[in-house]
Amino acid sequence: MSFMRNWKPFDVAALGVLLCAAIGACWKAWFDIFSRGWTDAEQSHVLLAIPVAIWLAWLRRGRIARSAPEPSVLGPIIIVGAWLLGEYGLQNSIDLFWHLSALLLVFGAVVSIAGIKPIAKMSVPAVALLFLLPVPAEIRLRIAEPLQNISATSSQYLLDIAGVPVVRTGNGLVINGENVIVAEACNGMRMVAALGVVTYTFAFSIPATALVRVLLLATSPLLAVIVNILRLMPTVLFYGYASKNTATTFHDISGWFMMVIALFVLWAIMRFLRWMELPVLSYGAMRE
* DSSP class per residue in 144-181: HHHHHHHHHHHHHHHHHHTT---EEETTEEEETTEEEE
What's the CA gap between 191 and 197, in Å, rounded? 10
Q: How far apart are CA 149 and CA 183, in angstroms?
A: 9
| Residues 241-274 pLDDT 10s | 888 788 778 877 777 778 888 888 888 888 888 8
**Angle made by CA atoms 100, 104, 109, in degrees to the nearest 5:** 155
Using CA atoms, how far apart are residues 286 and 202, in angstroms rounded to an integer? 13
- Render 174-209 in DSSP notation, one character per residue: EETTEEEEHHHH--SHHHHHHHHHHHHHHHTTS-B-
Closest CA to 182 of 191, 190, 173, 192: 173
Look at residues 94, 169, 82 and name the one whose alpha carbon lies nearest to residue 137: 94
Dist CA 139 CA 11 (whole Å): 41
Give 188's pLDDT tier (boundaries 50, 70, 90): low
Is the pLDDT at 288 greater than 50? The verdict is no
Q: What average pLDDT is seen over the chain?
A: 83
Which tens digits make up the pLDDT trace of 132-171? 999 887 777 777 677 777 777 888 888 888 888 888 776 6
pLDDT value for 275: 80
User: What CA–CA distance (Å, rounded) separates 161 from 96?
Assistant: 43
Cβ atoms of residues 198 and 44 within 8 Å: no
Domain-wise residue ranges, the chain? 3-134, 138-285
pLDDT of 2 over the 50 cut: no
How high is the pLDDT of residue 3?
Answer: 40
pLDDT tens digits along 100-119: 999 999 999 999 988 888 88
